[in-house]
Structure 1
Amino acid sequence: MILASPSPLSVALGIATAAAYGVAAAFSHKLNRSATQAVVAIAWLLHAAALATGLLPGTPRFGFAPALSITAWLVMTVYAVESRLFPGLTVRRVLAGLGALAALLAAAFPGSPLHMNASPWLPLHLALGIASYGLFGAAVVHAWLMTRAERRIRQAADPHAGLPLLTLERLTFRFVTAGFVLLSATLLAGLLFSETLYGPQVRAWKWDHKTVFSLLAWLSFAILLAGRSRFGWRGRTAKRVLYAGAVLLLLAYVGSRFVLEVVLHRPVA
């Protein structure tokens, strides 16, 4: 089966988004804070427009690349809000680079049309799942920032650079908790209402790679939260479990759809 062709508008918006993110990533050290924020804001708006061209008009399309692109956009949204509250956040170059890559992937691989017999509630089900991706993505970014903060402490660097370690740790687990709630709701809806969501001809809940990896990811995050509550897990142990769960979650939908769409050329609804 031939992959769906991206529309000229979505390609143009994807390239414009990547270019704007690229400017933010390449020149953020030369621009002042207000100029950098303006460039990132333009990139964020272009990114939203690029996503809307694939999800709103006609028959919506979805796949591994749009899922990654929406996740990147959500992480950028979280960063935009947090940078207002915590000016010490300094990861815009990394996030801008990831945003540029995600926008280009979504322009090149727009996904396949959603099933015609699907319920109007299916977009909400997908939104819950992608929102959990975004929250866990934000948690991973904060865990990486924790690693940088720990390195600064060991090197006796400026203690006022960046956010305090305890603040980063608290934010990380808040994102993990929120993501776990949404992931649980997504899996529960898929288990109980699969025929309602996807139509009677489609069995949404089946023991395939996506389901197995999703459940393993859910179990990893459940263990992480339980270990945090019961044993006070923090630092390296907590980050390792978080990274493992994030990789499993990435493999669940993005990984399985990548294999179907790009490797096997079999996009599915």
Structure 2
Amino acid sequence: MSILVNSLAFAFYMLAAVLSRPKPALVLGHAEGETSGATQRSERWSTWVMALAWIAQTITFAMVLHGELQPHFGFAQALSVTFWLVAAVYWVESLYYPLQMLRSWICLLAAISILLSWVFPGGFTPPYGAGPTFALHWAMGIAAYGLFGAAVLHGILLWTAERSLHRRKGAVSGVSRSLPLLTLEKLTYRLAAVGFVLLTASLIFAATFSEELFGKPFEFNHQAVFGIAAWLIFAVLMVGRVFLGWRGTRALAWLFGGTVLLMLTYVGSRFVLQVILHR
């Protein structure tokens, strides 16, 4: 049953990615109005197909939480949950802002994460990780991953639009036609700010309840070092944004750098252990 539902999620995400691909302004042999109508129909279909994919993926996670499936915990599963959350954030935002340009990428990344979870199933959750303390720590960490992931996708869109704007010497880009750059910038760093709060709570939680979470006292291993380094980079970004007015490439560089370090904290280390060291 779980394989079927997960397969449906993968298929729907891929279909939504195809349906939501950017369309040219004009198609040879068709009038502009006809092309616009076809684009709108494709976007409506991709909206519903993406919703079906997200629901199917949610059902899979619910089966794990209710004990119908034995939980697996690896880098691919973390990525899958992360992009599931990114898709949820996108859905909430799309109710208020035109963000169709992100849909194809989000669906494609979500589908790839599901595929990776099949190829690299990971290990079972250890007995001490089954309690509510571990669940809360895990939820905060994954939520931070998802919010920073969504912020990075917004940041890439913002960086692309700004480059296009400068390269064309003030010409309006495709992104800024549908969503003002200032609004996109605010969305990007609001997501990063909420992610920073959750990351802070997760790190404090891990240090305080280390024995209950991991079965041993807190220690400065590679995961702790990467996590604290990522937190420091995000802290500098928050200070720079609020007090120094950082914008543009400088702020995005700190956002991207911090997210890379955050990914190395768990996903990167688990990838090395599972795929390279086979542990």
TM-score (ref. length: structure 2): 0.85
Q: How does 1:1-269 map to 2 (within 5 A)?
A: 9-29=1-21, 31-57=41-67, 59-118=70-129, 119-154=131-166, 155=168, 156-157=171-172, 161-198=177-214, 202-203=215-216, 205-266=218-279
Structure with higher Rg: it is 2
Range 116-125 or range 174-183, more displaced: 116-125
Higher helix share: 2
Q: Judge conservation of contact 2:20–2:100 (CA < 8 Å) in 1.
A: no
* Counterparts in 2 of 1:210 and 1:88: CA distance versus 1, 3 Å: closer
What secondary structure is seen at the aligned counterpart in 1 of 2:121?
coil
Range 133-142 or range 148-157, more displaced: 148-157
Describe the superposition over 1:34-60 as per-residue Cα deviations: whole angstroms up to 9, x where unpaired: 211111101111121233344442543
What secondary structure is seen at the aligned counterpart in 1 of 2:205?
helix
Q: Judge conservation of contact 1:14–1:47 (CA < 8 Å) in 2.
A: yes
Give 1:152 deviation, angstroms: 4.0
Give 1:10 deviation, angstroms: 3.6
* Counterparts in 2 of 1:264 and 1:10: CA distance versus 1, 3 Å: farther
Aligned match of 1:6: none
1:74 corresponds to which letter in structure 2? Answer: L
Q: Judge conservation of contact 1:14–1:106 (CA < 8 Å) in 2.
A: no
For residues 209 and 53 of structure 1, what CA distance do their matches in structure 2 show? Answer: 32
Structure 1, unaligned stretches of length 5 or more?
A: 1-8
Give 1:113 deviation, angstroms: 1.8
* Counterparts in 2 of 1:158 and 1:212: CA distance versus 1, 3 Å: closer
Structure 2, unaligned stretches of length 5 or more?
A: 22-38
RMSD: 1.9
Runs of 4 or more, structure 1, over 4 Å off, are none
Using the aligned pairs only, state the percent identity.
45
Range 247-256 or range 225-234, more displaced: 225-234
Describe the superposition over 1:42-98 as per-residue Cα deviations: whole angstroms up to 9, x where unpaired: 111112123334444254321111110011011111111111111244211111110
Give 1:209 deviation, angstroms: 1.5
1:76 corresponds to which letter in structure 2? Answer: A
Q: Judge conservation of contact 2:54–2:84 (CA < 8 Å) in 1.
A: yes
Count of matched residue pairs: 255
For residues 62 and 180 of structure 1, what CA distance do their matches in structure 2 show? Answer: 23
